Structure 1
Amino acid sequence: MEELCTLGIYGLSNTGQQFAAHHARNQIRVCICDHDDPSFTPKVIAEYRKQNEKRDDADTTVDRFMRPSNTVEEMVSGLNTPRKIIIFNSNSSDGKFELLWNKLSPCLDKGDIVLRWGREEKENAPSHQFHSQSIVNKLAREQANSKEVHLLEMVRLERDRVNTFKSSNTQPDAFLVGGSEDAYNIMQPFLAPYAVTGLVGNSASCAHYALMIQRAIEFGVTQAFAEGSEILKRVAGHYEPTDVARVFVNWAEKGGKILSSYLLDITSKIIYKRDKVSGDGFVLSKIVDSIEVTPSDAWAKQEAIKLKVPAPILGAVLDARLLSGMKDEREDASSVLSELALKDTPSVLKDQISEDLQCAIYCTCMCAYAEGLSIFQAASDVESWDLNIAECVRLWNLPGSFLESDSLRKVHSAVKDDADESSTLMVISPIAAELQEMHMHWRRMVTLSFAYGISIPALSSSLTYYDTYRARTLPVGLIRAQRDYFGGNGYDRIEGAGWFTTNWTKDHTALNKKGLTTTDKPVQLDADGDEKIKTAAKKRKRQTL
């Protein structure tokens, strides 16, 4: 009787073939089947056998440890239990994966593991807006209630592979994985030689969500660097592009490396790049200063609103991008609403600007991380996910990741060591200590930019986020009073007893001899008394009349 296989490969894309061959060379038996063309399977093995015959160092184990299957049933029956199956070439659409799953699932039993390899998010992917509708997550819930089959989802991490690794073949792909921890631990040894992976949560949706949060954070961080470049050009003695780039390089090499990052490195290179097309000036000055906002760009902000999580940086950056798209209107407005005259702007020291701006960008990045992770944690609380935030941050910081930075390494360390996993990043030591140390540099930079009339949505909104979050009291009590005045909405009091509404008109007209406002006794209502509030408001209006 033929020996059973350890691993099933369903879908013989190029990656699927290479993955199967890799394990076969290591004498791990793999059972392979192509879901698009079953007749293709023996051709793959024949091709490997043919290649081996032409080589002096022929690896005869490859074809011997690959077992062809013409049907799904044949592949599944040829596997050890619990069965371990990886589905390749299904990332074109969730619909295709569901069709494949419908063929596969009847053959599976309790404890079997199925992993969907390499889901790639596209700009129009539905899961940008509807992560909870991930087909793997949907099917996993169904299986949990029936056969108890484990489904894992792998989502490809966005990285600059070409420029970072010089060749797309020099480093393995990296993937965010969502699903059962036990199932992942079984599959991880098979994935390790071929891909960098990390389990970010116990649901397939966690992997999708982690990628979307990464993109949301990128919005804030990239905007902060762009604003820093503009400040240097317009405030610090009108720096030339080479001067600006030199400041960025100095930050990476001499400035304590607090901003050392992938983005800092590429930004200096971008600013330095001369334009070979026109032969005049720099490429950056030739790029139209307008960027399109897609529906997926607003996804994280919509999620934040739905989850009641503040995301002022993301909102400000989205507004900035929308304003950039109003190119014609901005040009017309610039001729009517002129820039500040140089005599109206304060004098500054270049060295002071460099230090202040570096700190301001760093603090903005930290607030962007805090904002993104807060959205992620809130979603986890609602969806009852078991998140591994530290692992997620580790993957975001892999070489070539757009967020790779020394600051993110600090975030990873802080989150990993944080005993209270619900804490917002800004109050976790040592992040809190750094914000406390740098906030005056940050404030000076925001004040100076406003004095020069420079738009800094990321730097300023992040400072507002920081100040609002740390405020013991806020002036929203007046807003609630205004709403009670004109709408009878009611309010709760700091004593915590019941729900109140006040006859504000009578108070306004009744002054005692000392000039102090006399206060009516408020109408006390039950906490659940919305209808009572409305009734009290109507009664008050009648009495006023």
Structure 2
Amino acid sequence: MMNSIVYFTEWNKGELLSFLVEITADIFGIKDDKGEGYLVDKVLDKTGMKGTGKWTVQQAADLSVAAPTIASSLDARFLSGLKDERVEAAKVFKTGGFGDILTDQVVDKKQLIDDVRKALYASKICSYAQGMNLIRAKSIEKGWDLKLGELARIWKGGCIIRAVFLDRIKKAYDRNPDLANLLVDPEFAKEIIERQSAWRRVVSLAINSGISTPGMSSSLAYFDTYRRGRLPANLVQAQRDYFGAHTYERVDMEGSFHTEWFKIARQLKN
């Protein structure tokens, strides 16, 4: 536990400096006054919620804005609420060998700690990118003409997400008020590129160790999807046209098209 305090305290002196990292370091240092050990280890792992996350994800869906990091954090809360079910599931899967899944992992602890710091920062960029895109979409829908850089400046003045990171966001929108996504700002893009190897190592290690890291994993998937010029969504469109005649567009000509996939497939099989 003492190591955790040191790590978060150190991280709070660099690019991760923020209210949440600061209070995390504080929490790790509080000992249980009703027993032995640290208080955080005695807190029930069942998260409450006020509805803000649910409302945010609903808005993202309504506006067709991808917000997987935010959605994964909400799902994690829902799953945490299934405490009794999780306890029983742990018994089932422990007998299936999952209890020993960590034993074959060789880890350089010093590198891992630094990798986690980098992965956290990269994931944070993705999370804020999704949030800013959601706010921008709502601003366009309502005609609010919100200045995203100014919002970042205001938040830095005092709220739960206040962080030195918000200075970077303000500068990004100062450089380009019409920035499509924080990920493509030259400075943020450079930082993502510098950290992506560490990010991938952390997520891969977590997956191979059977440890759930929904925020980092969904952020990495968001980044990998957003950075691709072509996605397998073409197959999804073909499937939609096959079963529902929803039509599709082509990459080589204008217009909407429909194909009798079933009829052609049967002819080919015969």
- TM-score range for the pair, normalised by the shorter chain length: over 0.9
Q: For the Cα contact (< 8 Å) 2:238–2:248, is it kept in 1?
A: yes
Equivalent residue in structure 1 for 2:49, among 272, 290, 293: 293
Letter in 2 for 1:415: Y
Q: Structure 2: where are the runs of 5+ without partners?
A: none
Counterpart contact for 2:246–2:258, Cα < 8 Å: yes
What is the Cα deviation at residue 509 of structure 1?
A: 4.4
Q: CA deviation at 1:270?
A: 0.4
Residue equivalent to 1:267: 24
> 1:386 Cα deviation (Å)?
1.7
2:129 to 351, 370, 375: 370
Counterparts in 2 of 1:495 and 1:391: CA distance versus 1, 3 Å: same
Deviation of 1:300 (Å): 1.1
Tell me if the contact between 2:5 and 2:28 (Cα under 8 Å) persists in the aligned partners.
yes
Contact 2:102 2:210 (8 Å CA) reproduced: no
CA distance in 2, matches of 1:298, 1:499: 36
Distance 2:74 2:231 in 1: 26
State which of 395, 414, 439 in structure 1 corresponds to 2:196.
439
Letter of the 1:293 partner, please give it: M
- 2:143 corresponds in structure 1 to 384
Q: Which SS does the other structure have where 1:430 is aligned?
A: helix
C-alpha distance in 2 between matches for 1:440 and 1:404: 27
1:439-472 CA-partner distances (Å, limit 9, x unpaired): 1111110000111111111110111111111111
Identify if the C-alpha distance between structure 1 residues 497 and 389 changes in structure 2 by more than 3 Å, giving closer, same or farther.
Answer: closer
**Cα displacement (A) at 1:417:** 2.2
Please tell me whether Structure 1 or Structure 2 has the larger radius of gyration of its CA atoms.
Answer: 1
- Where 2:257 maps in the other structure, the secondary structure is strand
1:330 to 86, 90, 97: 86
Q: 1:496 to 1:261 in 2, by over 3 A?
A: same
2-structure distance, mates of 1:414, 1:357: 25
* Corresponding residue for residue 412 of structure 1: 170
Identity of aligned residues (%): 35
Q: Distance in 2 between matches of 1:345 and 1:395?
A: 48
CA distance in structure 1 between the partners assigned to 2:241 and 2:134 by the alignment: 31
Note the C-alpha offset of 1:424. 1.1
How far off is 1:342 after superposition? Answer: 5.0
- Measured in 1, the distance between the counterparts of 2:152 and 2:21 equals 19
On the 8 A contact 1:293/1:322 being kept in 2, the answer is no
Amino acid at match of 1:449: A
Deviation at 1:293? 3.4
Instruction: Tell me the TM-score normalized by structure 2.
Output: 0.92
- Per the alignment, in what secondary structure is the counterpart of residue 244 of structure 1? helix
CA contact (8 A) 1:490 1:499 kept: yes
Q: Distance in 2 between matches of 1:417 and 1:403?
A: 22
Indicate conservation of the 8 Å contact 1:340/1:452, yes or no: no
Task: Tell me how many residue pairs correspond in the alignment.
Answer: 267
- Residue 378 of structure 1 deviates from its aligned partner by 0.6
The answer for unaligned runs of 5 or more in structure 1 is: 1-240, 512-516, 518-545
**Is the partner of 1:318 in helix, strand or coil?**
helix
Using the alignment, how far apart are the partners of 2:78 and 2:49 within structure 1? 7
Contact 2:53 / 2:70 at 8 angstroms: preserved in 1? Answer: no
Q: Tell me how large the CA RMSD over aligned residues is.
A: 1.9
Which has more helix, going by share of residues?
2
**Cα offsets for 1:21-68 (capped at 9, x unmatched):** xxxxxxxxxxxxxxxxxxxxxxxxxxxxxxxxxxxxxxxxxxxxxxxx
One-letter amino acid matched to 1:250:
E
Question: 1:319 matched to which residue of 2?
Answer: 75
Q: Say if 1:286 and 1:422 are closer, same or farther in 2 by CA, change over 3 A.
A: same
Shift of the 489–401 alpha-carbon distance from structure 1 to 2, 3 Å rule, reads closer
Match of 1:475 in 2: 232
Q: Report the CA distance between 1:492 and its aligned residue.
A: 1.6
**Deviation, structure 1 residue 347:** 0.5
Specify which structure has the bigger relative contact order, considering alpha-carbon pairs within 8 angstroms and separated by 6 or more residues: 2
Q: 1:295 to 1:259 in 2, by over 3 A?
A: closer
Q: 8 Å contact 2:179–2:185 — kept in the other structure?
A: no
Q: TM-score, normalised by structure 1?
A: 0.47
Which amino acid letter does the alignment assign opposite residue 427 of structure 1? V
In 2: Cα distance, 1:475 partner to 1:396 partner? 38
Contact 2:101 2:210 in 1 (8 A): no
